[in-house]
Structure formats: structure tokens, C-alpha cells
Amino acid sequence: MSDALLNELLSLMRHRREEWLSRGENEIPDWIFCNREGNAIDMHNVINRHFKKCLTKAGLRQIRWHDLRHSFASLLIQSGQSLKYVCDQLGHSSIKMTADVYGHLVPGANRQAMNSLPSLNSPVVAEKAAGENA
């Protein structure tokens, strides 16, 4: 989570606390995003009443809520973050799962792998070839 997002969420929590205290409520919900009763929000309601409308208003195609998770992971990888970091952010049980789903997005991964091999002109390869021909 970025520092900017953390600050926004902390600000929202403070606002929520002030709101509940001003209404005379003694128990402040643990949820940052909650309904009027302080319970967890209904995600189907959020998706149908808000998320889909936001996509339409922004002129974007309809996507699933879960597609945002894939976009997040893809953007992290394409910005150069390691698969291990992405694995941790997504809560995957293993880096293999992350690599299987997102490994093709690692920028320049294939080229880096090929370039890490010794070239045909390198001293190591030339000496080995000379030793085999002797």
C-alpha cells in the first residue's frame, strides 16, 4: 500500500470515528467502509450500484471487480517489481502460482535470460571449444 493511500485511509477512519461519536454512538465500527449500521458493506450492492456505473460514466468496458486485481499485479510487474513482491502483495501461497499467471509480463525476462548466457565469442566458451577439439 502506498503512503498516500495509507494516509487517505487513516483520514477516512478519523472522519468515520468523528461521525459516529457525533451521533452519540459508543461503539465505532472496525470497518473503514461500512454500511449505516456499521456492518461490512455488501460487495454485490457496491458492484451493481456503483462500480458498474463508474465504468460506464468513464467510458470503460464492463469488467469484473476481480479484474482490478489482475491489473494491479500486471502494473507492478511491468514497472519492474519482482515476482516475489507481487506474490506477497496478492497473497499467493507460492511464487510458482504468481509466475504461472504473470510471468509472461516480466519485461525483458527472455532477453535477460539469453543475455546472461556466455556468448560464443566469450573466453570461457572459446577455451572449452578449443579443449574439446584438441
Which tops the pLDDT comparison, 109 or 72? 72
Does the structure show a pLDDT above 80 at 122? no
Q: Can you spell out the DSSP letters for 73-126?
A: HHHHHHTT--HHHHHHHHT-S-HHHHHHHHGGGSTTHHHHHHHHSPPTTSHHHH
Range from 61-65, 74-78, 107-111 carrying the lowest mean pLDDT: 107-111
Q: For residue 51, name the pLDDT band (cuts at 50, 70, 90).
A: very high
Which tops the pLDDT comparison, 78 or 59? 59
| Average pLDDT of span 75-79 | 91
